[in-house]
């Protein structure tokens, strides 16, 4: 897919929204579209996509629970650095890495075998 098609589509979408308002809204939308046209290609190229095996789907996605529970976790700088390095090595976010470690440590890992979703591609994007 050509980058110009994506950028042109974004600019057209912003311009279309601007047409819903008065002249001032249209002018602001046009300015936003111009900025998007300059910055969107670089932003799109910064995104890294990672494939995640079904057996590796984070617990927050796999167990059907609402991933809104929060905890505060205090770590030594050394442990934090090792967690970050391990997450990068596995190609996952720090949050996903910690969730997987907790899931494995509590014995609540997902059973092996066919998982709902079949052959769907699962993953995430990060900048």
In a shared domain, residues 67 and 94:
yes
Q: Quick one: how far is CA 21 from the chain centroid?
A: 32
In a shared domain, residues 24 and 81:
no
In a shared domain, residues 73 and 98:
yes
In a shared domain, residues 53 and 98:
yes
Q: How many domains is the chain partitioned into structurally?
A: 2
In a shared domain, residues 63 and 42:
no
In a shared domain, residues 96 and 54:
yes
> How far is 77 from 29, CA to CA, in rounded Å?
45
What is the reported pLDDT for 82? 92
Task: Identify the domain boundary among 30, 46, 62.
Answer: 46
In a shared domain, residues 108 and 63:
yes
Q: Please report, for the chain, how many H helices and E strands are present, in that order.
A: 5, 2
- Residues of the chain with pLDDT > 70, as a percent, come to 67
Lowest model confidence (mean pLDDT) among 84-93, 100-109, 116-125 = 116-125
User: Which residue segment(s) compose the domain that 53 sits in?
Assistant: 48-113+121-126
In a shared domain, residues 52 and 104:
yes
Core vs surface per residue 84-117: b (16+ CB within 10 A) or e = eeebeeebbeeebbbbbeebeeeeeeeeeeeeee
In a shared domain, residues 34 and 85:
no
Cα-flanking dihedrals φ and ψ of residue 113, to 5°?
A: 110, -170
**Residue 117 pLDDT > 50, yes or no?**
no
**Residue 96 pLDDT > 80, yes or no?**
yes
Task: Tell me the whole-structure pTM to 2 decimals.
Answer: 0.37
In a shared domain, residues 65 and 26:
no
What is the reported pLDDT for 53? 60
Rounded average pLDDT over 71-79: 87
Residues 123/53, Cβ–Cβ less than 8 Å: no
């Amino acid at each position: 897919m050509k980058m110009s098609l994506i950028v042109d589509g974004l600019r057209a979408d912003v311009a279309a929204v601007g047409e819903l308002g008065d002249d001032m809204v249209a002018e602001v939308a046009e300015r936003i579209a111009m900025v998007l046209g300059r910055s969107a290609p670089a932003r799109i190229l910064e995104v890294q996509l990672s494939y995640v095996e079904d057996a590796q789907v984070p617990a927050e996605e796999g167990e059907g629970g609402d991933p809104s529970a929060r905890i505060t976790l205090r770590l030594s700088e050394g442990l934090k650095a090792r967690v970050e390095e391990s997450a990068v090595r596995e190609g996952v976010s720090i949050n996903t890495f910690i969730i997987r470690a907790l899931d494995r440590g509590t014995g609540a890992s997902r059973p092996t075998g066919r998982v709902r979703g079949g052959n769907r591609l699962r993953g995430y994007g990060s900048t």
